[in-house]
Amino acid sequence: MPVGTRAAVKGVTPRQLQETGAEVVLANTFHLMLRPGAGLVERLGGLHRYMNWPRPILTDSGGFQVFSLAALRTLDDGGVEFRSPIDGQLVRLSPETAVAVQNQLGADIIMALDECPALPASDAQLRAAVERTVRWAARCRAAHTRSDQALYGIVQGGLDLSLRTECLARLVEIGFDGYALGGLSVGEPPPEMWALLADFVGAMPADRPRYLMGVGTPRDLVQAVASGVDQFDCVLPTRNGRKGFAFTSAGALRLRNAAFGEDPGPLDPRCDCEACRGFSRAYLRGLIMGRETLGATLVSIHNLRFFQDLMRAMRTALAAGEFEAWRARFRSGPWTSASEV
């Protein structure tokens, strides 16, 4: 799912986004509740109409953004208070208000409020985060009023398999429409995350979507799908695109490198996105080096298409019963090194 933090995927129009193959977009509850405000979005017809996106939307609970503002927040069992980074006003976010805001925004999938500890964390910190996450999840479930919105619970527990398993069992007892893995890709080495996914994801309900939040690189996605994950979001395609970093079938391509200054070829000869159909590497490099917005847009479009094509290839291989063979080919390709991103 491409990330549209403030109801917009940076530098890309909704039509261009659809052309990449994106089916679901993630929007950020924390930012939207501060500006322009959930009430305004609701009055203007809800998030779909507000951002002119006709396909499904997922909104997060705002928890990750709030917890990343460690110096600006105060946390207790009732919720979290923080100073708005926009105007400094004191704002309180509880499980009930997190759900109410998302009910107003009108996304198709909404998330329960959780506590997301940074890794590494002590056993006591992880236990406390799980206890609070489960209590808040029950309150979110009780506060949810819209039957047309799927509500996901978020599993916490760091890299502790037993704690993750306990958290999941308690969330399943409450009952959610999908289950997300939070608190990963927050500082731990990727192999440790992959090991946890391999050991844990199979325990998640098979009749509900399994969502890995905030991940990841091409290698992360393949490892996670192999473990049974269904759903992902990540800022990498557009964040890296704005820096002139292209994901291609031949590996990473960094347009700031002088070697591309006179290169007449497309970003990726195997891609038929708008950027690859009509523009050379030399032209795109010129845009990036000149800080032209069009350069960031075109490379972002290509990266979004690359990620959608990667996911489509995995779905096709799974449907054909050929995923392990496909995965072996991927492992022999250019996206096997963590240093590539």
pLDDT digits (tens, 9 = 90+) for 301-312: 999 999 999 999
Residues 24-56 pLDDT 10s: 999 999 999 999 999 999 999 999 999 999 999
The CA distances from residue 213 to 8, 229, 235, 284, in Å, are 19, 10, 11, 31
Which residues have a catalytic role annotated? Answer: 60, 233
AA identity, residue 97: T
Q: Cβ distance 242 to 3 under 8 Å?
A: no
Q: Cβ distance 86 to 36 under 8 Å?
A: no
Tokens, residue 332: 């022999």
Q: Cβ distance 24 to 57 under 8 Å?
A: yes
Query: How far is residue 3's CA from residue 258's CA, in Å, rounded to a whole number?
Result: 30
Query: How far is residue 217's CA from residue 337's CA, in Å, rounded to a whole number?
Result: 10
Residues 117-173 pLDDT 10s: 888 899 999 999 999 999 999 999 999 999 999 999 999 999 999 999 999 999 999
**Which range (186-190, 224-228, 330-334) has the least confidence?**
186-190
Q: What's domain 3-234's architecture?
A: Alpha-Beta Barrel (3.20)
The CA distances from residue 310 to 14, 83, 253, in Å, are 21, 40, 17
> Can you give the pLDDT at residue 117?
86
Query: What DSSP line would sit under 115-132, residue for residue?
Result: ----SS--HHHHHHHHHH
Q: Cβ distance 179 to 155 under 8 Å?
A: yes
Full-model pTM? 0.95
Residue 178: strand pairing partners: 152
Residues 6+ apart with CB under 8 A from 226: 198, 323, 327
**Is the pLDDT reported for residue 338 higher than 70?**
no
Query: How far is residue 8's CA from residue 13's CA, in Å, rounded to a whole number?
Result: 8
**Is the pLDDT reported for residue 339 higher than 70?**
no
> Can you give the pLDDT at residue 340?
61
Residues 276-335 pLDDT 10s: 999 999 999 999 999 999 999 999 999 999 999 999 999 999 999 999 999 999 999 999
ω into residue 120 within 30 of 0, thus cis? yes
Query: How far is residue 114's CA from residue 94's CA, in Å, rounded to a whole number?
Result: 10
Smallest CA-to-CA distance from 294 within 14, 8, 13 is with 13
Q: Where in the chain is the domain with CATH 3.20.20.105?
A: 3-234
**Is the pLDDT reported for residue 68 higher than 90?**
no
Residue 59: strand pairing partners: 27, 110
**Is the pLDDT reported for residue 65 higher than 90?**
no
